[in-house]
Chains A and B, each alone.
Chain A
């Protein structure tokens, strides 16, 4: 599976609804993601892609939409 689909699947599981039609929506703004689910997201990404995404690297302006998360993960896989 490509990175994109896997990230979307992780996000869908954590948020509990299908977000594939809102790839550029700010999920902090809409309240879909909070600090708790953010940590879950980081842990899932860490184990799925074997990347290091520490909490202090997590800047809410750079991780706030599904597309941005995908871009981040792709850059971290390098």
Chain B
């Protein structure tokens, strides 16, 4: 049976672009074929879960019914009342499927993972929870089943983002870009597809994953068996796995953005030269941006807002430090319930706290600033990030505890 994993091989792109051609022609002539777009989206999602992945297909249907009822029910409720407890319960219920799937890894509940898990559950949960939070704020007032389905099941970004926002997406999907703008989007799409091929297939899959990484990793394991867990071979492992992470993921994001552009949807970009960041805060404004902005707007800012409004903590610095650690810890847990993801989150939380203290110090004192200090800042930030990616990679777990 035909099974198509998103952006996995050249064949996928040929089928995808053929399927999208009628849509592109329509957009060129100022028409958006909404039904066709939905059918293509559904067909590709179906093909993701066809064959031996059929149980994921059932899981996504169950998941969609669950989220549908929650978002719809909460919108109806919100018109009449606005109780905080109800809001928290609905939000937790929306996260519940994802939470159970994440929990099934360390507890070895394979039946839970089989029953509820599917590729893209994280990204669909972000979409749904975002809608619930905005409904709470009164920014989303109506539940439109048709637009809800189109937002949730928009195929290009289902497996790995970028994470779009409901109101932004709806504005795009209910209008047609004018011809000049659409042609510019197509032009960008072509460029992003080829850049994505270079990043994902050539640099990540070919150079790092099948060539560099297996070699340096086996050398590290070999050396660790003689000299103990902290071997110098961890340094090349660190750079190779960190760079691989970027090229692999940035490549996927480029594919997703390019595909969305062909469909006339301006999904936000996910990466903006992250390794040129001068500090850790800037890094999170350039790395996996739609995720970090999601966390910034829906977790960090809401957390700070709550603390400040209720006046629980007087000190501004303490508040922001707590919020950083909380925010990044949640992100760590979201990646998965493994020690290395949680340590990764904590590492970045503490890193942001230190970074903020430094920025405050710099503001007060006259710290020299020139081209050399900027280059030094970029160098330090890059290496701090690389250490965090080595933790994230999980290789240390294999090396030390397995």
The answer to whether A and B belong to the same complex is yes
Which A residues are within 8 Å of any B CB, using their own CB?
A: 34-36, 38-40, 42-43, 52, 54-58
Q: A54-B139, A55-B137 known; A35 and B308 CB under 8 Å?
A: no
**How many contacts A-B (CB < 8 Å)?**
40
In the complex, chain B residues whose CB is within 8 Å of the CB of A56? 133-134, 137, 139, 297-298
Apart from A36-B304, A39-B305, what 19 extra A-B contacts exist at CB < 8 Å? A34-B281, A35-B296, A35-B300, A35-B304, A36-B316, A38-B301, A39-B301, A39-B308, A40-B316, A43-B308, A54-B137, A54-B138, A54-B139, A55-B137, A55-B301, A55-B302, A56-B139, A56-B298, A58-B301
Check if B309 is an interface residue, CB within 8 A of chain A: yes
Q: How far is the CA of A38 from the CA of B138 in the complex (A)?
A: 19
In the complex, chain B residues whose CB is within 8 Å of the CB of A40? 308, 316
State which of A34, A43, A52, A57 has its C-beta within 8 Å of the C-beta of B305: A43
Q: How far is the CA of A36 from the CA of B305 in the complex (A)?
A: 9
Q: Write out, one digit per residue, whether chain B residues 107-146 have a CB within 8 A of any chain A CB (1) or not (0).
A: 0000000000000000000000000011001110000000
Check if B320 is an interface residue, CB within 8 A of chain A: yes
Q: How far is the CA of A52 from the CA of B308 in the complex (A)?
A: 16
Inter-chain contact B304/A39, CB cutoff 8 Å: yes
Q: Write out, one digit per residue, whether chain B residues 259-284 have a CB within 8 A of any chain A CB (1) or not (0).
A: 00000000000000000000001000
Inter-chain contact B308/A55, CB cutoff 8 Å: no
Which B residues are within 8 Å of any A CB, using their own CB?
A: 133-134, 137-139, 281, 296-298, 300-302, 304-305, 308-309, 316, 319-320, 323
Interface of A is mostly: helix
Inter-chain contact A36/B320, CB cutoff 8 Å: yes
Q: How far is the CA of A29 from the CA of B281 in the complex (A)?
A: 13
**The 7 residue pairs across chains A and B that have the minimum distance between CB atoms:** A54-B137, A56-B137, A39-B304, A56-B134, A56-B139, A36-B320, A55-B301
In whole Å, how far is A21's beta carbon from the nearest beta carbon of chain B? 20
Q: How far is the CA of A55 from the CA of B136 in the complex (A)?
A: 11
Q: A39-B304, A39-B308, A43-B308 known; A55 and B297 CB under 8 Å?
A: yes
Taking CB as reference atom, which chain B residue is nearest A54? B137
In the complex, chain B residues whose CB is within 8 Å of the CB of A38? 301
In whole Å, how far is A32's beta carbon from the nearest beta carbon of chain B? 11
State which of B298, B305, B323 has its C-beta within 8 Å of the C-beta of A42: B305
Inter-chain contact A35/B137, CB cutoff 8 Å: no
In whole Å, how far is B49's beta carbon from the nearest beta carbon of chain A? 32
